[in-house]
Chain A
């Protein structure tokens, strides 16, 4: 704990200096405060680095195996083949795997994915909002004024949840009322000390409604960084035509409305880049790769284009780019990108 150590040394030096005078100056109190701050900061940093949920040793008849398998980015493919790309696409740190076993019961597998940020954990959960939202007792962020997103979803024996930087999958090999209870109890242990249930700031750029009648389909709103994830949500190209990567953030969703002709929908893709230069280069890449037959618009930073499945629009705004797909006409595409 370097801050603590330095604080101690500094304090002792100043105290010794001041001992030669009869009156202790205010600087001693300042340095005392500095010492106290350094000590607690050191402890705080230590706590952040090692924050790890304590899983119960027993849950009903199930007993946790003592062995925990730790998987890194280097060997994740040995563990889960191509599924590993999903987690690597979200700035994966490590995976810890353990199992619960019980006589006369099937196993419960616990996978804790430690990600770099809570946004990455959120993103993994956002890939599928299906299932039953369950309240495992995660404290809500009072500052967040947007409607909140579920933190935990359960379905047929699988609990998926996010807790700070952790995304977890807790899977009962066979669902029974007892295994459900056990799975939820384990999930509760994972989230017990959770302090951050906020959603990515980027999602707040997507309004709940556009004009009165177009509503965001929250069930298909996802947050991601990787073009492989984009392709699993909405295929646009084999290649990474938006220059997505760990330094970018992206969100995709649909808006829909009821009409006499049935439900109408369009799709928005919002990407934030590290800087305006990266955003500009990405837009140019998209134009070359997706709109090669619209070369005349290749230098436009805002445009609407008719393609095979409707009107497409895009706009560059600093380090952010917004794309809209499958609009019914040019006016709608233009109006959407103007709104965002």
Chain B
């Protein structure tokens, strides 16, 4: 690149690199603007309040729970979508992808409609467990948005493993189940770890569904992004910006962890 800038058509690399650098600078400014606004003194003040860490803990544990359920459902689904060919499989894959493609606000509205009918009202009548304006509602919304996401990620990583290994294993006499657990899963290890972390970060970032479906209960259902919206409505700019900083740090550290453990730094 160094030698070629002056030669024919050298403007093209310069344009590309220039655009890239400018855009990256703008995005960095966007992300750092919270910090610049808040200042060091106020940041320390808000970080020392227990309210911040209560919400942080709520976000962490609800995301962990939804992630584990999503993984449980997402890994086999991803395998099925990747390996099996059944009729209308494009249609099925599109329908499964639908909750993550449309805006989460729309998903929240639909969940609000769904929980007033079978099977949810049956569950709440017979078991007394009421899913709605409480933490179970949060888990349900997070599960809806992340299960399909997990299936998609796992499908992508299973697609990258050639089927030859499974054929070899089957030809050596292993049953399909054993092949899956002993051959396919270890090879997909990086993919599983990456999915786990990204799905966790996505669950921690889900709030539009909560706004329309769960409503606001201080301390019980206001996970971090939702708390940002509520405090924004209360004009508490200090809380808003400090919580934004925490959310940004959570997302960045999740992606960094994924990179260090899984070796891939991108979601795709």
A and B are interacting partners? no
Interface residues of B (CB under 8 A from A): none
Interface residues of A (CB under 8 A from B): none
